[in-house]
Amino acid sequence: MVEQDCPYPDLDGRDVEPATRHVLLVEDDELLGYLRVLDEGPDGEVARVGRVVLAPAARGRGLGGPLMRAALDVVGDRVSVLSAQAPLAGWYGAHGYVVSGDGYDEDGIPHLPMTRPARG
C-alpha cells in the first residue's frame, strides 16, 4: 500500500472468513511473502488469489514461484481468478492464468483480470 502509493484502507473484512487461507513465505523467521486465497461464488466453487506481495529483499530470488505454487495447492482443482498488475501477466500466465477481460486502472497501476481454468 505504501510502496505503490495507494493510500486507502485495505480492510474488507474477508481476512477472517472461515474459508480464507493466508499463505506465508517465511525464511529464517522473517516474513518474505504473503498472499490470500478467498472462496468466491455461492458454494466457493471459484477461488480468488490476491494480495500477492514479496518483501523487497525477497525479490529477484525466484521466491514468487513457490509462493504461487502454495496458493495453487490451496486452490486445488477449482477455477481461480486474480487481478494482475499488467506487467506481471506473463508471470501469472506461467502458472496457468489467462487474461479474461479488459484491462483497467487501479490507483494509477494498469491491471488485467485473469482466470485459471478448473483442473481435472
Decide if pLDDT at 14 tops 80. yes
pLDDT of residue 11: 76
Terminal CA-CA length for the chain: 36
Q: Where are the domains of the chain?
A: 14-116
Return d(Cα 31, Cα 52) in angstroms, integer: 13
- The yes or no reply on domain 14-116 and CATH 3.40.640.10 is no
- How confident is the model over 74-98, as a mean pLDDT? 97
Which cell goes with 66? 513457490
Return d(Cα 41, Cα 113) in angstroms, integer: 17
The reported pTM is 0.88
- Segment 96-110, tens digit of pLDDT: 999 999 999 998 999
DSSP string, the chain: -TTTT--S----SGGGSTT-EEEEEEETTEEEEEEEEEEESTTS-EEEEEEEEE-GGGTTTT-HHHHHHHHHHHHTTSEEEEEEEGGGHHHHHTTT-EE-S--EEETTEEEEEEEE----
pLDDT of residue 9: 55
